[in-house]
Amino acid sequence: MRVGILTGGGDCPGLNAVIRAAVRKGERAYGDELIGFLDAWDGVRERRTMPLSIEAMRGTLPRGGTVLGTRRGSPFDTPEGVEQVKSTLGDLALDGLIVIGGNGSLSIASLLYTEHGLPIVGVPKTIDNDIEGTDVTFGFNTAVQIATDAIDRLHTTAESHDRVLVVEVMGRHTGWIATHAGIAGGAAAVLIPEIPFDLDELCQRLTRRHHRGRYASIIVVAEGAVPKKGTLDIAEQEIDQFGHVRLGGIAARVAHTIGEQTGFETRVVQLGHIQRGGTPTAYDRILATRFGAGAIDAVHEQQWGKMTVLRGEQVVYEDLTVAVGKTRTVDMKLVNDVAEHFFA
| Region binding ligand F6P by CB under 6 A among candidate stretches 62-70, 168-176, 190-198, 292-300 | 168-176
In the set 170, 293, 298, 323, which binds ligand F6P (CB under 6 A)?
170
128 catalytic? Reply is yes
Stretch that binds ligand F6P, among 86-94, 169-177, 281-289, 315-323 (CB under 6 A): 169-177
Nearest residue to the partner ligand F6P, using Cβ: 170
Least Cβ distance, residue 178 to ligand F6P (angstroms): 11
What distances in angstroms separate CA 186 from CA 74, 91, 151, 153, 206, one per listed residue?
A: 40, 55, 8, 12, 14
Dihedral (CA of 20, 114, 40, 42) sign:
positive
Cα dihedral 9/15/20/22 (nearest 10): -60
> What is each CA distance from 83 to 79, 166, 242, 256, 262, in whole angstroms?
8, 48, 21, 51, 60
Q: Measured from the CB of residue 168, what is the shortest distance to ligand F6P in angstroms? A: 11
Count of residues near ligand F6P by CB under 6 A: 11
Bridge partners of 7?
A: 100
AA letter at 134: T
Which residues ranging from 276 to 315 are in contact with ligand F6P (CB under 6 A)?
A: 276
Q: How far is the CB of 235 from ligand F6P (least distance, A)?
A: 16
Q: Please report whether residue 171 would count as binding ligand F6P according to CB under 6 A.
A: yes
CB of 172 to ligand F6P, least distance (A): 5
* Contacts for 229 with CB less than 8 Å, ≥ 6 apart: 196
Round to whole Å and give the CA distance between 195 and 120: 36
Query: Which residue stretch of 90-98, 124-132, 279-287, 310-318 sits at the interface with ligand F6P (rule: CB under 6 A)?
Result: 124-132
Determine the Cα–Cα distance for residues 237 and 340; give it in Å rounded to an integer: 32
- Alpha-carbon Rg for the chain, nearest whole angstrom, is 22
Q: Which is nearer to ligand F6P, 52 or 320 (CB)?
A: 320
DSSP letter assigned to residue 26: I
Site for ligand F6P in 208-237 (CB under 6 A): 223
CB 306 within 8 A of CB 282: no
Q: Which residue among the candidates 128, 130, 284, 297 is catalytic per the annotation?
A: 128
DSSP β-bridge partners for residue 97:
4, 120
Sheet containing 217-222: order of strands: 189-191, 217-222, 163-169, 265-270
Torsion of CA 64, 67, 73, 77, to 10 degrees: -160
- Helix (H/G/I), strand (E/B), else coil: 28: helix
**Does residue 173 touch ligand F6P according to CB under 6 A?**
no
Among 71, 125, 172, 306, binds ligand F6P (CB under 6 A): 172
Closer to ligand F6P by Cβ: residue 45 or 276: 276
Identify the residue among 19, 35, 89, 247 touching ligand F6P (CB under 6 A).
247
- At its nearest, how many Å lie between ligand F6P and the CB of residue 247? 5
Per CB under 6 A, the list member of 127, 166, 187, 295 interacting with ligand F6P is: 127
> How many Cβ atoms from other residues are within 10 Å of residue 29's Cβ?
12
Which of the stretches 123-131, 181-189, 283-291, 324-332 binds ligand F6P when contact is defined by CB under 6 A? Answer: 123-131
CB of 147 to ligand F6P, least distance (A): 11
32 binds ligand F6P per the rule CB under 6 A: no
Binding test (CB under 6 A) with ligand F6P, winner from 128, 168, 194, 284: 128
Give the residue, chosen from 10, 124, 182, 292, that forms a contact with ligand F6P under the rule CB under 6 A. Answer: 10
Q: How far is the CB of 191 from ligand F6P (least distance, A)?
A: 15
Q: How far apart, in whole angstroms, are the C-alpha atoms of residue 35 and residue 1? A: 11
Q: Give the helix ranges, DSSP H, for 162-198.
A: 176-184
Q: Which residues are catalytic?
A: 128
Binding site for ligand F6P (CB under 6 A): 10, 102, 126-128, 170-172, 223, 247, 276
